[in-house]
Amino acid sequence: MTEPLGEIGRFAEPSLFILASLSEGPKHGYAIMADVEAISGGHLGPGTLYAALARLERRGLIEALEPEERRRPYRLTGLGASVLRAQLQGLSDFAKTGLERLGDAR
Rounded to whole angstroms, the Cα distance separating 30 from 85 reads 24
**pLDDT number for residue 8:** 57
* Segment 9-63, tens digit of pLDDT: 544 789 999 999 999 999 999 999 999 999 999 899 999 999 999 999 999 999 9
- Give the Cβ contact number of residue 16 at 10 Å: 20
Residue pLDDT, tens place only, 60-87: 999 999 998 889 999 999 999 999 999 9
Whether the full predicted model's pTM is greater than 0.75, yes or no, is yes
Torsions phi, psi for 49 (to 5 deg)? -60, -55
What's the Cα-to-Cα distance from 51 to each of 4, 15, 18, 59, 75, rounded to whole Å?
23, 10, 11, 13, 16
- Architecture of domain 10-105 in CATH? Orthogonal Bundle (1.10)
Report pLDDT for 2.
Answer: 46
Domain ranges within the chain, ordered by starting residue: 10-105
